Structure 1
Amino acid sequence: MASSSFQVTTYNYYSWSSRNTTRTNLNLKGSGGKVCFVNFKEDSVTDLPPATNSGNYYWFYYRESQMEHLIDMLRNEGPVYVHFNDNSGFNNSRIATTDEPVGEGEIS
């Protein structure tokens, strides 16, 4: 059972040349050397692996179709957090914002 989180301070992403799988990766970085490696899977049928955490390193898995949504969140919302939670054997890990006022608009 584990639960931890960190605020994303910087990110980068890249697309690999000549790969058939895991063609794009997104890295979310926080203070203290924390990094969440986000892997995108093209396959829309197979179950995604569960999120994992080992010290300062986190591994999250999303469908490739979700990449644009996550990049939009990183560009336009703030703050953004990585939340790892596998308490009671139920994996509830996520990349999320905090509560925001209605109608506040995007950050600039």
Structure 2
Amino acid sequence: MPTTQIEKYHVIYSANTFRRRIGLMAGGAYIGQLVFHANGAALPADGLNGTQPQLNYHLDDFQNCIDLLRNEKPVYLLYNGSGGGFENALTTDPETVGEGEAGGLRFVGR
């Protein structure tokens, strides 16, 4: 399962779409983003925005995600794919239980 350690993040309040976003960075490049949609709205499937993972959550989950980024070190972006059956998340462990040694594929900036 590909994971990338998150080194920096920033919060974006979108003026046009009324959403919040958290941009995730590593090595000075963007590695993905978390997009927060209105509570109760149907969430789009997680997927790639270009080459970067985009994970979708409801606004109710914003505080949990920002707390992980602020209070836990290290935190990783886990992205496996789009659609049912794929696990995508913020995680405090570089690998999923039972997955063996870390150090697999990583999402890197351009």
Please give the TM-score of this superposition, normalised by the length of structure 1: 0.72
Which protein is richer in helix relative to its size? Answer: 1
1:35 aligned to 3, 10, 31, which one?
31
C-alpha contact 2:35 2:54 (8 A) present in aligned 1: yes
The answer for the alignment partner of 1:103 in structure 2 is none
The answer for the alignment partner of 2:5 in structure 1 is 7
1:1-108 superposed matches below 5 A: 3-17=1-15, 19=16, 21-31=17-27, 33-46=29-42, 48-53=43-48, 56-86=51-81, 90-98=85-93
Residues paired across the two proteins, number:
94
C-alpha contact 2:19 2:36 (8 A) present in aligned 1: yes
Q: 1:40 to 1:54 in 2, by over 3 A?
A: closer
C-alpha contact 2:46 2:83 (8 A) present in aligned 1: no
Identity of aligned residues (%): 24
Q: 1:23 to 1:32 in 2, by over 3 A?
A: closer
Larger RCO, structure (CA 8 Å, separation 6 or more): 2
Structure 1 residues not aligned, in runs of 5+? 100-108
Moved more, 30-39 or 70-79: 30-39
Please give the TM-score of this superposition, normalised by the length of structure 2: 0.71
Q: 1:59 to 1:11 in 2, by over 3 A?
A: same
- Report the Cα offset of residue 23 of structure 1: 2.0
RMSD (Å) for aligned C-alpha atoms: 2.6
